[in-house]
Structure 1
Amino acid sequence: MNTVPATASVVVIGAGPAGLTTGIALADAGVDVVLLDRLAEGANTSRAAVVHARTLEVLDEFDVAAELNERGLVVGQFDLNDGPERLATIRFDDLPTRFPYALLISQATTEEALLARLHRAGGTVLRPYTVTAVRGDDTGVTVEFTDAAGDSGSIRADYVVGADGMHSVVREQAGIGFTGASYPESFALADVRMDWPDPRTEVALHLAPEGFTLVAPLPDEQDDRFRIVATVDEAPEQPDLAFLQAIIDARRPGGRIREVLWSSRFHVHHRLADHYRAGRVLLAGDAAHVHSPAGGQGMNTGIQDGALLGRLLARVLHGEADTLLDQYEATRRPIAQDVVTLTDRMTRMATLRPRPARALRNIVIRTAVLFPFVRRAIAFQLAELSTR
């Protein structure tokens, strides 16, 4: 555990992808930045598993994209199925970008690469420190915390960035509302080794009356590692092999799970912070927006938040007007609103149960994707290239 200094120009709370990217942008600009995280070490589970084209463009500006490409798995298409019926195939290979694909990679690996990049910029993450209070005034912000032994301390900063997740202490302390709701279903999430009949060059979303199941390949020397995300009425806290195999058998017969490497259950919310800024306190990542995992947009949106916010803060700390920070919410909040709306529609479409509604949905999808411009528009939006 490192000692927290008495002061810093910026304190970033939370060392996930959004917080790390913010820290890199600040450290690159020579800003005195301190990152605090409540975990004793970085998370080692995969959670988010895709990096989209626009995020790779952003990370390429920080010289991180090449490393991720070396360690990830390139996937060229997204397939949508209802049982044995293929409804749509969305390809990424003709997108106007240097990265015309989705990169499948564990979030733990992405965070590892970002942390190493932060260290190269001269920054570090101080752990484990739990933030208990955030108090701002006209001249700065005081952050109070406790360490692993329960001892308390504080640090004074010009600005504070809350990148501390959906249950953000920073957001709550700043009095910023978090408007939205929760989905009734629970989500089972697992990384498994399995025999899978489809190519490892595609991500597939399988629709069924019981719910949707996303199956995505993950990079692995044995070429048998996959991510499974499935909606169920009520998932166990740690879904086991039998539970997950039953889902595959019901929704995409033909896959055989041989080992569960990691699993979890979670409930999904669709929420958006009422504001991204309260004086000298700003929000990024899941502290500002949460939504369904459909489309794999969450981590990507947070990384892009951090890149812009870090650069704007650096400019202000180097002498530009504080009003420059208003650009952050004006730019990023509408993008998050669009992501929340998109993923909500995808989730509700995918979880339809009445047979007539499912039949109509399938007809609409099959008809729409007959047109190349529709397929391209969907790929463009999934890749988040519209956020440029």
Structure 2
Amino acid sequence: MSLPARTDVLVVGAGPAGLAAAIALADAGVDFVLVDRQAEGANTSRACVVHARTLEVLAELGVTDRLKELGVVVPTFTVRDGAAVLARVPFAGLPTDYPYTLMVPQDRTEAVLLARLREAGGDVHRPVEVTAVAGDATGVTVTTSAGTVRAKYVIGADGMHSRVRDEAGIGFTGATYAESFVLADVRMSWPLDREEVSLHLSPEGVTVVAPLPGAADRYRVVATVAEAPERPGVADIQSIVDARGPEGARTRVTEVLWSSRFRVHHRVADHYRAGRVLLAGDAAHVHSPAGGQGMNTGIQDAVELGRLLARVVAGEPDALLDTYEAKRRPVATEVVAFTDRMTRMATLRPRVARVLRNSVMKLAFSLPPVRAKLAYRLAELAAR
């Protein structure tokens, strides 16, 4: 497809956030262009947790039922330290039509969103790399590897290293965790129920294990390590689950289906808007994967922003767009703080501190209101 010279909204980045924003624009009849620098869509698993609030938002776009067919429903979140269960948090009873977490790999989520976008008449221009963004009082001129586009508004959904954010001069305040993260989809024998996502606390680091759709031995493992290998293999994952999994359990990793390593930042954009340039997804906020909040928050950003832009393009005051940052940035700052607390709590090393933490958690989560509050928080229902 040739790149149009003019459009109402240019969306940069065709990950989950960019695709969701484009669907919202397409459904409203807005003229838009969606570009991505990659030659083809993501074909790796990456983020795979979809929480209740995101399922509500995606249901409005008509894709939740499709995702459910591809995912596995997980109704419980647990926190463990060795053999001890410190907290068992059920999602049942939440005030939503989706009282659970849905585990579905990101490549499948993106495929479903792309199919939905095409049904609405849209598509992605690839590979198109943005090299400059210059805004003025009436629009934004965006220089790309495929030509120049003049847009009334630009959505930067181009990830943590956002060129759009940098070109707009928006700061990205925060820091980087010292540890690196291992991310792997594996086949393994795992002693815990496939109806739970489990967070394992240990002085070696935080580890999350969650079931994946498909065969009963497919799981996602996310773990902090001092220095992760470039492509974690069977021996690497085996050593992690041996050291941090349930004590006395027989766990055997038989295959690594996909793996990666990454460093995690906890950062929030200083502003979500600079004139006619607006940010969504990882371009606006990044944080620890503890709790699986990142992609969820980004999709919710994108749908909210797409709908606001549709109203402005249709003639409502431009000032309406100021409500986007006012509503969504506090959500991101709370997510960053929440996931940072989870990460630091999970990686306590002194034995006395760990014993105290475990005792407090067991006592607190024996109370139904505390369990319900955490379930509500993880499900992101507070972001309605």
Report the TM range for the smaller structure's normalisation: over 0.9
Alignment of 1:323-362 (within 5 A): 323-362=319-358
- Shift in Å, 1:363: 1.0
1:316 aligned to 2:309?
no
In structure 2, the residue matched to 1:224 is 217
Report the alpha carbon displacement of residue 224 of structure 1 after superposing the two structures with TM.
1.3
2:254 to 251, 258, 265: 258
C-alpha deviations, 1:319-343, integer Å up to 9, x for none? 0000000010000000001000000
Output the TM-score relative to the length of structure 2.
0.98
1:346 offset after TM fit, Å? 0.3
Q: Deviations over 1:19-54 (max 9, x none)?
A: 111000001000001100001111011111110000
Select which of 348, 370, 373 maps to 2:366.
370
Among candidates 173, 176, 185, match of residue 182 of structure 1: 176
Deviation at 1:80, TM superposition (A): 0.5
Partners in 2 of 1:45 and 1:267 — Cα distance?
17
Question: 2:166 — aligned with what?
Answer: 172
Matched letter for residue 244 of structure 2:
R
**Alpha-carbon separation, structure 2, partners of 1:3 and 1:216:** 42
What SS does the aligned partner of 2:152 have? strand
Cα distance in 2 for partners of 1:212, 1:387 equals 26
Taking structure 1 as the reference length, the TM-score comes to: 0.97
Partner of 1:150: none
Per the TM alignment, residue 145 of structure 1 is displaced from its structure 2 partner at its CA by: 1.0
2: CA distance, partners of 1:137 / 1:65: 38
**Counterparts of 2:237 and 2:70 in 1: how far apart (Å)?**
27
Deviation at 1:364, TM superposition (A): 1.1
**Residue of structure 1 equivalent to 2:28:** 29
- 5+ residue gaps, structure 2, are none
CA distance in 2, matches of 1:86, 1:199: 13
1:15 equivalenced with 2:11 (yes/no): no
Residue 106 of structure 2 corresponds to residue 107 of structure 1: yes
Aligned residues with identical type, % of pairs: 66
- The answer on 1:243 being equivalent to 2:236 is yes
Residue equivalent to 1:44: 43
2: distance between equivalents of 1:196 and 1:32?
Answer: 49
Give 3-state SS (helix, strand or coil) of 2:264's partner.
strand
Q: Give how far 1:360 is off.
A: 1.0
Q: Letter of the 1:230 partner, please give it.
A: A
Q: Runs of 4+ in structure 1 displaced over 6 angstroms? A: none
Cα offset, 1:254, TM superposition:
2.3
Distance 1:213 1:310 in 2: 35
Question: Offset at 1:273?
Answer: 0.2
| 2:272 equivalent among 276, 298, 309 | 276
How much is the aligned-residue C-alpha RMSD, in angstroms?
0.7
- SS of equivalent to 1:126: coil
Aligned residue for 1:5? 4
Provide the rounded CA distance (Å) in 2 between the counterparts of 1:161 and 1:111.
18
Shift of 1:298: 0.2
Hey, what's the Cα distance between the residues in 1 that align with 2:56 and 2:259? 31
